[in-house]
Amino acid sequence: MPFSETGFPGLVIYEPTVFGDHRGYFFESYNANTFRAGGQEYNFVQDNQARSTYGVLRGLHYQLEPHAQTKLIRVLEGSIIDAVVDLRKGSPTYGKSYTIELSAANKLQLLVPKGFAHGYAVISETAEVMYKCDNFYHKGSEGGIIYNDPALGIDWGIDLDKALVSEKDLVLPKLADVTHNFVF
Ligand SMILES: Cc1cn([C@H]2C[C@H](O)[C@@H](COP(=O)(O)OP(=O)(O)O[C@H]3O[C@@H](C)C(=O)[C@@H](O)[C@H]3O)O2)c(=O)[nH]c1=O
C-alpha cells in the first residue's frame, strides 16, 4: 500500500511508486482507483498551485463547514515544511499539530482531511506547491490560526523573525480564540 499513517486519524501520507529509467522517471501523482483501494475516496474539484520563495509561510488556513476541504498536498519544485492542526472536536489528536517535509525530491503527498488547519513554509530557494481540494474556494468561510501560536509550537524549519507572511495571516487568532464547527 502506498499509504502510511501519521497517528492522526485520517491524516495519511501517499508515497507513489516511481518508475525510473534512462529517460528520467514516471509516477502516478494521483489515481482515483489507487486512492479508493486505500480507503481514500474523494471527489476532488479544484487544483491550486502556488509559487513562493524561501521563508514564505502560508497558513494556517481552513474553510468552515459546509465548505470544508480535504486537501492533497504535493511539491512540484523545492521543499516545504507542511504543518496541520487537528480542529475536529472529539478527535484523539484535537489541538495537536503534525509536520512533514514534502519536496519535489521525496515526492511525498499529505492527505489532509476536513477539519484540519493547514499551512506550509518554504525551506528551499523557491517552491512550487500544488494541492487538490474536494470543495471549492469559499471566501466567506475562510478561517485560520496564527502560525506562531505558542500553544502549538510548530517548528516551521525557518527563522520565524524573517518569515514572509501575508497581512491577512499576520492577524489570525490563536487556537484558543478560534471558533469553528468541525466534529470528529
Ligand atoms: C485559496 C484561494 C485563493 N484565491 C485568491 C484569493 C486571493 O486574492 C489570492 C491569494 O489567496 P490567499 O492569500 O488566501 O492564498 P494562500 O495564503 O496561499 O492560501 C492558501 O494557503 C494554504 C496554506 C492553504 O491551505 C489553502 O487552502 C489556501 O488557504 O488568491 C482564489 O481565487 N482561490 C482560492 O482557492
Q: 44-177: CATH homologous superfamily?
A: Jelly Rolls (2.60.120.10)
Dist. CA 129–CA 167, nearest whole Å: 20
The catalytically annotated residue of 98, 131, 147, 180 is 131
What's the confidence (pLDDT) of residue 61? 98
pLDDT at 69 over 90: yes
Mean pLDDT value of segment 30-34: 98
CB count, 10 Å around CB of 49?
9
Is 131 annotated in the active site? yes
What's the confidence (pLDDT) of residue 181? 85
What's the confidence (pLDDT) of residue 123? 98
**Ligand 1 atom at minimal distance to the Cα of residue 166:** 13
Dist. CA 17–CA 87, nearest whole Å: 31
pLDDT at 59 over 90: yes
Tell me which of 56, 58, 170 to substitute to probe ligand 1's pocket, judged by most ligand atoms within 8 Å of the beta carbon. Answer: 58
* Spans of all domains in the chain: 44-177
Distance (angstroms) between ligand 1 centre and the Cα of 132 equals 13
Per-residue pLDDT tens for 90-145?
A: 999 999 999 999 999 999 999 999 999 999 999 999 999 999 999 999 999 999 99
The catalytically annotated residue of 42, 61, 118, 120 is 61
Residue 1: pLDDT band (50, 70, 90) is confident
Residue with cell 534512462: 22
What is the b/e burial string over 77-103, where b = at least 16 CB atoms within 10 angstroms of the residue's CB?
ebbbbbbbbbbbeebebeeebbbbebb
Q: How large a percentage of the chain has pLDDT more than 90?
A: 98
What's the confidence (pLDDT) of residue 180? 82
- Contacting residues for 50 by C-beta, under 8 A, at least 6 apart: 58, 128, 129, 130
Mean pLDDT value of segment 31-43: 97
Residue 52: pLDDT band (50, 70, 90) is very high
Residue 43: pLDDT band (50, 70, 90) is very high
Dist. CA 151–CA 136, nearest whole Å: 30
What's the confidence (pLDDT) of residue 179? 87
What's the confidence (pLDDT) of residue 75? 98
3-state secondary structure the chain: CCEEECCCCCCEEECCCEEEECCEEEECCCCHHHHHHCCCCCCCCEEEEEEEECCEEEEEEEECCCCCCCEEEEEEECEEEEEEEECCECCCCCCCEEEEEEECCCCCEEEECCCEEEEEEECCCEEEEEEEECCCCCHHHEEECCCCCCCCCCCCCCCHHHCECCHHHHCCCCHHHCCCCCEC
What's the confidence (pLDDT) of residue 104? 98
Nearest CA to ligand 1 atom 23: 119
